[in-house]
Amino acid sequence: MNVQELIDTARRLVAGDKGLLAMDESNPTCNKRFARLGIPQTGEARRAYRELIVATPDLGKCISGAILCDETIRQHKKDGTPFVKAITDAGIIPGIKVDTGAKDMAGHPGEKITEGLDGLRDRLAEYSQMLSGGPFPAVRPGA
């Protein structure tokens, strides 16, 4: 992305009275919420929940950008439409959270550290391809 594209994207994200949608909740966090409500903690349940969000009529009238997590960027609606396509078709700019989550910090009980530098270059290349309309791989097993 060149500097002008970056500036244009930033302007589109803050234009008007629209907000940003954070759909980057980790699978463990989503599963905890589901467990409290008696919802199965499965990839399919998370997919169906997220589909309710991305398929909301006129979502693009209120949302300018959506932050996705690794599982979400790979998911599709029941009809096979990739979530990224549904989001962009609504006029929403998709983004991706690139870290791999918070882990316990060695030698510091109770402290967390964000991980994700290992493999970042490859993840960025893959995400860039997906966000630009490239192939949309299925969710990885166990994700």
pLDDT in tens, 54-94: 999 999 999 999 999 999 999 999 999 999 999 999 999 99
Question: At residue 141, does pLDDT exceed 50?
Answer: no
Residue 51 lies in a domain: yes
Residue range 23-42, pLDDT digits in tens: 988 899 999 999 999 999 99
Residue 141 within any structural domain of the chain = no
Single-letter residue type at 60: G
Residue 12 lies in a domain: yes
Tell me whether residue 55 is in a domain: yes
pLDDT of residue 131: 82
CATH of the domain at 49: 3.20.20.70
Model pTM?
A: 0.80
DSSP string covering 62-109: TEEEEEE-HHHHT-B-TTS-BHHHHHHHTTPEEEE--S-EEEEPTTST
Confidence of residue 135 (pLDDT cuts 50, 70, 90): low
Is the pLDDT reported for residue 123 higher than 60?
A: yes
Residue 86 lies in a domain: yes
Query: Is the residue at 143 inside a domain?
Result: no
Q: By residue range, what is the domain housing residue 31?
A: 3-131
Angle separating helix axes 27-37 and 43-54, nearest 10 degrees:
90
Please report whether residue 139 resides in a domain: no
> Is the pLDDT at 134 greater than 60, yes or no?
no
Confidence of residue 143 (pLDDT cuts 50, 70, 90): very low
Q: Is the pLDDT of residue 18 over 50?
A: yes
The domain total for the chain is: 1
Distance CA 70, CA 27 (A): 10
What SS3 class is residue 60? helix
137: in domain? no
